[in-house]
Copies of this chain bind each other. A is one copy, B any other.
Amino acid sequence: MADRQQFRDLAPPEEAREVIDSLDLRPDDETVPLREARGRVLAERIDAGLDVPGFDRASVDGYAVQAANTFGADEADPARLELAGEVHAGAEPDDEVGDGECVEVSTGAVLPPGADAVVMVERTERVSRSDTERASGEPAADHGEAADGRAASDTSRERNDPRGGEEVLVRTSLAPGDRVMFAGADVAAGERALGPGTVLTPREIGLLSALGVEAVPVRGRPTVGIISTGDELVRPGESLKSTAGEIYDVNTYTTATAVEEAGGEARLYPHAGDDYDAMETVLREAAAECDLVLSSGSTSASAVDVIYRVVEETGELLLHGVAVKPGKPMLVGRLGVSGPRSGGPEDERRESSGGSAYVGLPGYPVSALTIFRTFVAPAVREAAGLPEPRTATVTGAMAVRERYSEGRLRYMPVGLVDPGPDESLPGEDTADGTGVGAGAGATVDTLVYPVDKGSGATTSLVEADGVVAVPPDVEQLDAGERVEVRLFSPDVRPPRLFGAGEDDPALSRLLDRVDRPRYLGVGSRQGLRRLRDGVTDVAVVTGEADADPDDAVEVGGWRREWGLVVPAGNPDGIEGVADLVDDELRFVNRTTDSGLRTTLGNAVAALADERDADRHDLVEAIDGFEFAVRAHESPARNVLAGEADAGLGLRSTAEAHGTGFVPCGTERVRAFAAEERREKPGVRRLERAIEEADDVLESLPGYERSEPLE
């Protein structure tokens, strides 16, 4: 077992990248309807197949004229033209514009034959011929007549008889081409419209619409098969047998969505188990159907063995083990579909008969996503013709010093936090108004902090925003040092409020009212430590003995009732902490970082005082004082499962789970903000949420607003 997992000749990361780049993942181009082409990448140049507009087009509502007929006309001395007809957008002109004539046109109408310009309606006036005759044959020359003409025009409109001997006064002089968009002026047939590699956004869809393009040649999306291995893995939604060590399969859906985000099409294969024949069948099927096949390292060593053998026997193993952390056990190869590898001409036959690239990702979720993001996503995007998203990386400054000296390239999972009162990150739209004079304000560096819960932790997935590549020769990153963070997704956005501390059901609900919070329920003690380190904005703490933290201000709080969660009906007749000491009861505590545990410790100390006993002896007498579980509900769940007779907990938890509850007291829960982040909008928002928390506190049994602070 030890031998199998040692990778003596680890490839350097650059070689891994080169090997992956050498894999051919590019699928055939395809044709899609224009309506479905958004986000796709043009496979070929598209030249305009027609003129836009396809005809000489009136640009305004008005009258089509022969420009020469208007030479010298102005407001005072208009040209007088006979109205010969009308043409609207989408209609074929019936009438020609002869010398001395005009035709009414609407915007977008075909310019009638004979016309070479359009006068906008605002510069004209319609008069009936009778008015004209009454006003003599001369062009109207003074203002008074023009006013008369206007009145007459209204009358003629009421008659609704545009051709009934009407004339139009044109009060401006036109040049040929005025207010006409000539055929092909926008796009001329034969012009280069869009080139290969163009990502189709709404504007390109618009141009292709104008050209009447119905179907678009686009780059194919690489098909990426995802194979789930490991007997212990269960798909979400199926039932889980925890006693048999089953866990939900995290990597399959994570990888599938990451593939889709990178522009590929994910295809999920049924759970293969760790059996050679079943695995081989699935791998061959996937190799035949996909451009790339991914699996993530099963924790079961035998599955790794099986994959290794199938790759070796049907295809070619190109790389086994890379000198990066995490990602060491990465496998890269090619999978065949038609049988063992044999070299020579048969090898070519195998090539032509299908097969796919293969990459084996590490098993831990953060490691798998890191390796996917760093090595595989670029290859999928390249195959799809897509550029790296602009939001794929962010630069920031290290919030704390980080030492590292393993002599191996490391992808360090990190979180981001914006320290300033101006919470906008580069490129984030804040201005609702206008766009002039933008970017004048000082930019506050985003802070970058390492997230290291152990790569096995699923929660690292959402506590980290991305990874920083730390070169092998870097032993230490100083606080303030600038680093580039590759985000786990271009859609990842750092939190607007970052807090850590006590796990509390009221807080859970209040955080729903804050935009993009990140809260780590690490307990009061850890919460205060992180606040001191300058990483978090806020710590939420309980445990009455704690002094107020330095350089922090309280932004609000509440009280909660604590006690012992016991089975329904309290079968052991427990009355308080003293019974834990005196009776044979299996107890379940919270972890040492929990403020609630501090509160319990204080109660035990008070009991010791009362009995004039040693606190330590009382603790020793409690069976399970050291049996500590993490979250506020966990002891209740232990009691419900019959694993304990009493657990440390809250009235609200007990009532929510229908267990019994022995009240022991109330404790304050208080939120502290780092002084320098006091004005950060996320902190302000939390403060307001606490101020307005009445509904939440009323909905939770045993909760109440804190008495005002003295």
A181 — nearest CB in chain B belongs to which residue?
Answer: B456
Binds B, one of A69-77, A607-615, A632-640: A632-640
Is there a chain B Cβ closer than 8 Å to A147's Cβ? no
Known A-B contacts A2-B122, A301-B61, A634-B184; A245 and B110 likewise in contact (beta carbons under 8 Å): yes
Q: Are B210 and A458 neighbours in the complex by a CB distance under 8 Å?
A: yes
Is there a chain B Cβ closer than 8 Å to A698's Cβ? no
Known A-B contacts A201-B257, A631-B190; A236 and B252 likewise in contact (beta carbons under 8 Å): no
What are 22 A-B pairs with beta-carbon distances under 8 A? A17-B432, A53-B247, A54-B242, A54-B246, A55-B242, A89-B230, A92-B243, A108-B299, A110-B243, A183-B629, A186-B459, A190-B505, A202-B254, A203-B369, A205-B254, A208-B236, A393-B431, A426-B426, A433-B469, A434-B484, A435-B468, A435-B485
Q: Are A212 and B186 neighbours in the complex by a CB distance under 8 Å?
A: no
Is there a chain B Cβ closer than 8 Å to A400's Cβ? no
Is there a chain B Cβ closer than 8 Å to A545's Cβ? no
Binds B, one of A131-139, A347-355, A470-478: A470-478
Can you list, as one digit per residue, whether each of A181-212 has a CB less than 8 Å from chain B (1) or not (0)?
11111111111111111110111111111111
Binds B, one of A43-51, A315-323, A334-342, A597-605: A43-51
| Closest beta carbon of chain B to A17's beta carbon, Å | 8
**How many copies of this chain does one complex carry?**
2
Which listed residue, B108, B236, B246, touches A300 by the CB 8 Å rule?
B108
Is there a chain B Cβ closer than 8 Å to A285's Cβ? no
| Closest beta carbon of chain B to A225's beta carbon, Å | 15
In the complex the two chains form, what is the Cα distance from A256 to B33 in whole Å? 14
Known A-B contacts A201-B257, A629-B184; A458 and B206 likewise in contact (beta carbons under 8 Å): yes
Of the candidates A238, A388, A390, the one having the most CB atoms from chain B within 10 angstroms of its own CB is A390
Is there a chain B Cβ closer than 8 Å to A24's Cβ? no
If over half of A's interface residues share one DSSP class (helix, strand or loop), that class is named, otherwise mixed; here it is loop
In the complex the two chains form, what is the Cα distance from A29 to B367 in whole Å? 33
Which listed residue, B89, B195, B209, B482, touches A236 by the CB 8 Å rule?
B209
Which listed residue, B121, B190, B521, touches A632 by the CB 8 Å rule?
B190
| Closest beta carbon of chain B to A460's beta carbon, Å | 9
In the complex the two chains form, what is the Cα distance from A632 to B508 in whole Å? 66
Can you list, as one digit per residue, whether each of A473-506 has a CB less than 8 Å from chain B (1) or not (0)?
0100100011111101101110000000001010
| Closest beta carbon of chain B to A296's beta carbon, Å | 11
Can you list, as one digit per residue, whether each of A202-240 has a CB less than 8 Å from chain B (1) or not (0)?
111111111111110000000000000011111011101
